[in-house]
Amino acid sequence: MMEIHDPREIPVLTDAVDEARPRDGLFDAKAVHAAVVTETLKLADSLLHQAVKEIEATVFERVFDQLRARLPELLDRVLRENAPADGAAARAREPAAVRVSPIEPDARP
């Protein structure tokens, strides 16, 4: 079973390196520290960029869902606001009806 990790819990190193202790030649404490800091910053940057992409995708989806839901009402309102008050005047301005026939599959060039 996979353990769920809360990303707000930042791991803390609890063991201090005793610089006064004689080194046995295995590690250069300053080089290890610099490498840990550098790699931690790279990892944090990568994770933040991925989080931003996920947030952008979520927000983008929400905006388009809201637009899709509200666009019919918006169009209806705008058409009603711009419709002429007199139906006869509207018919006089309408272009003549044009009949459009669908293209049959075997009639294509």
What pLDDT does residue 108 have? Answer: 46
The two tokens of residue 6 are 């809360």
Taking a C-beta distance cutoff of 8 angstroms, is the pair 37, 25 a contact? no
Each of the 109 residues of the chain gets a pLDDT tens digit; together they read 456 667 677 766 666 655 555 556 678 889 999 999 999 999 999 999 999 999 999 999 999 999 999 999 999 999 999 988 775 555 555 555 555 555 655 544 4
pTM over 0.75: no
Is 95 buried (19+), middle (13-18) or exposed (0-12) by CB count in 10 A?
exposed
Angle at 41 between CA 35 and CA 43, to 5 degrees: 100
Tell me the C-alpha distance between 10 and 52, whole Å: 19
Task: Give the per-residue pLDDT at 27.
Answer: 82
- Cα dihedral 49→52→57→58 (10° resolution): 150
Give dist(CA 80, CA 74) in Å, integer: 10
Q: Report the pLDDT value the prediction gives residue 80, as an integer from 0 to 100.
A: 93
Q: What distance lies between CA 65 and its chain's CA centroid?
A: 13
Q: What is the pLDDT at residue 8? A: 73
